[in-house]
Structure 1
């Protein structure tokens, strides 16, 4: 699975194993419609290993910890179960130890899906996957959202009480002493992290302004809203600097993250015209979008399941010389701006992955803000990083 993708479940009971090169603390949160737990009893972890419809199993350090969800035994009003993970060692990040979640049929052990969150760094806790209900059908979604303030940040975002005092000694029975202490009171989340606990974002309330790593479903009132969209990308020279020639592109991928084709200033139409480029802007000056890519979602071939939108500096100028870079999704029929992502940080690199559109198993599309910088002056050098970002 790729971040944001989902699959329907063909069984009532599923087990989610989360494995990594180091020992992890894995937990499950039962969430109501407001995106919060009803009480601390809905937080399932090593010191509270069972709840209504959800159980925790320790791997003992030699096997992955796991969360099992019995969707038939969940209380009324529970709409999502989020599976989280954090390194057992205090303060350790996920840099270089990316975990893999394996979703299995709880009875047979048959693998339903696997997911490895890409490009992790300073995160010390993750929302790995979620089991959720939509339209009466239970599904599993790959999430991969990180927190820099540990499991406490996740817990408090979802309404779990986090004590400042150490846990009583009696609570240590099921875990080694080093892991018994409850998480520290969380620090403020870093600006790059997407807000959590707000539920699935869609277009029901109109225009959406995304933060980095946040996802919006292109659905309104339960139905896919769009057939043809425009991705507008814009920028300005930083602080009165010289003109800057940036190139916007889109890379199309297949279901195995395989590269299908790229649309850019030298190749203005791909996939039989389903994706078209407006042409090259050489300065970045002036109001409005500098370059526009039109995507006819209804005409995309079935094998095109992911699109990554990138911007590169062919002339070699770095993004520290660029101001007000953004991308925005527009309804091509009405001209209405639906989703916007403003790049609020910069790195001395020559490429950036701005956003991605991913087709879900249900057929709907989701847009995710990326905002990751890459050392590449051309779209060709973005193909591999774009594959990883999916």
Structure 2
């Protein structure tokens, strides 16, 4: 398709896959006849993944998908616009070509494809729109760019965007935070826990629908998938109830240089409240703690789509003495992480396969080990996941035991 062109839709359920060489924040907005959302509930993105007839999900081959069930879209909605903004602050679309592929959501057949031409200083854009016409539905290629990011799009279409609150003058020092779970405090030299803001001056929400900046507090799973940055924490709580079911930590990576294999090993180390190792699970020991933790096996190349290795944890089956888990990746062959691209970890509901939390490693160091994330059991019973992204010199899980303990 070319900008401004349109096609009738031959399917009642269509999926718009948005892909690019870089990470994007993709969203869908349900617009009434006046070109505005009816409320903020009509803004669909990864942390608010559904509205009537419209859902957001991660695409199987990478990127994001906005699925529109035209039969379920409310009568008062005239169109659904699919937008994309860059995940990296300050980046523009110059040299980046996002593509929107419209498929039949039931059989996967491609109905249309559109790549906006001549992008430059734009930081966000409306890619395509699905709209009513003459009793049917059509798709139009748009490609309209914005220089003020997703906040500009949101404001244009009536989504409430609040400015960050000004800092209070000379605030009193907040009370000391409570002791962390299981008696753990930060190791020597580690940053002190960040106290919550004073009750009299709560911080206003950020304008973009991404996770809060590092250090701004914990979030939960109530609004769907959470994308973490380094040192951010998410509480595995949904609807006020801790998750005690099974979760799967998927870890993936790709070779940074074409034609080169990367042999990395993903492992998890279980610790007690005294930071003493209870056990570890890796390619040479695929099941520990009576089957409460299971490893998928070794991937020798790093090639192929999807997770390279996965570790399943039955949270409810972990013995009481296990209060912390550190997920690590090592290069036994000595290859450095500077030779690795697109390393990530993601936490999924092991039963439904739903992605709950994702952490993309945004930089690499020429070292042989990395601590990706930790799960810590709280006094109240729920588990919290924190993105780490800390590199160390260790080629085996055994070499990770001490630095991982210090990260708890």
TM-score (norm 2): 0.53
CA pair 275-36 structure 1, distance change in 2 beyond 3 A:
farther
Tell me if 1:310 matches 2:328.
yes
Distance across 1 between alignment mates of 2:329 and 2:284: 14
2:394 aligned with 1:266 = no
Distance in structure 2 (CA, Å) of the matches to 1:102 and 1:364: 16
Distance 1:35 1:226 in 2: 35
Shift of 1:82: 6.1
2:365 matches 1:352: no
CA distance in 2, matches of 1:35, 1:364: 30
Give the whole-Å Cα distance in 2 for the aligned partners of 1:205 and 1:211: 17
Deviation at residue 239 of structure 1 after TM alignment: 3.0
Candidates 278, 291, 297, aligned match of 2:296: 278
Structure 1 counterpart SS, 2:298: coil
Alignment partners' CA distance in 1, 2:183 and 2:244: 28
1:216 aligns with 2:216: no
Instruction: Give the counterpart of 1:40 among 169, 173, 193.
Output: 169
Q: Deviations over 1:289-326 (max 9, x none)?
A: 00000000000000000000000001100000000000
Match of 2:186 in 1: 116
Contact 1:227 1:297 in 2 (8 A): yes
Q: Which runs of 4+ in 1 moved over 2 A?
A: 34-41, 112-120, 126-133, 156-159, 193-197
Matched, 1:239 2:257: yes
Equivalent position SS for 1:115: coil
1:252 aligns with 2:270: yes
Q: Which of 211, 214, 217 is the equivalent residue of 1:195?
A: 214
- 1:128-147 to structure 2, matched below 5 A, reads 128-129=194-195
Rounded Cα–Cα distance in structure 2 between residues aligned with 1:129 and 1:117: 17
In 1: Cα distance, 2:270 partner to 2:344 partner: 20
Relative to structure 1, the CA distance from residue 102 to residue 316 in structure 2 (aligned partners, 3 Å threshold; closer, same or farther) is same
Map 1:1-390 onto structure 2 (within 5 A). 39-40=168-169, 43-45=171-173, 81=174, 83=176, 115-116=185-186, 120=190, 127-129=193-195, 194-197=213-216, 199-390=217-408
SS at match of 2:224: coil
**Contact 1:210/1:340 (<8 A) preserved:** yes
How many angstroms apart in 1 are the aligned matches of 2:385 and 2:275? Answer: 16
Aligned-pair distance for 1:116? 3.3
Would you say the 8 A contact 2:270–2:279 is kept in 1?
Answer: yes
1:345-386 C-alpha deviation (Å, 9 max, x unpaired): 100100000000000000000000000001010000000001
Offset, 1:221: 1.3
Paired with 1:203 and 1:37, the residues of 2 have a C-alpha distance of 28
Per the alignment, residue 148 of structure 1 pairs with none
Residues 38 and 324 of structure 1, relative CA distance in 2, 3 Å threshold: closer
Instruction: Output the CA distance in 2 between the equivalents of 1:253 and 1:259.
Output: 4
Q: RMSD of the alignment, in Å?
A: 3.1
Report how far residue 224 of structure 1 moved.
1.2
Instruction: For residues 251-280 of structure 1, give each alpha carbon's deviation from its aligned partner in whole angstroms, at most 9, with x where no partner exists.
Output: 000001110000000000000110000000
Contact 1:245 1:282 in 2 (8 A): yes
TM-score by length of structure 1 reads 0.55
Residue 40 of structure 1, CA deviation:
3.1
| Partners of 2:184 and 2:274 within 8 A in 1 | no
How many Å apart are 1:128 and its aligned residue? 4.3
Distance 1:312 1:223 in 2: 34
- Using the TM superposition, give the Cα deviation of residue 115 of structure 1 relative to its aligned residue in structure 2, in angstroms: 3.1
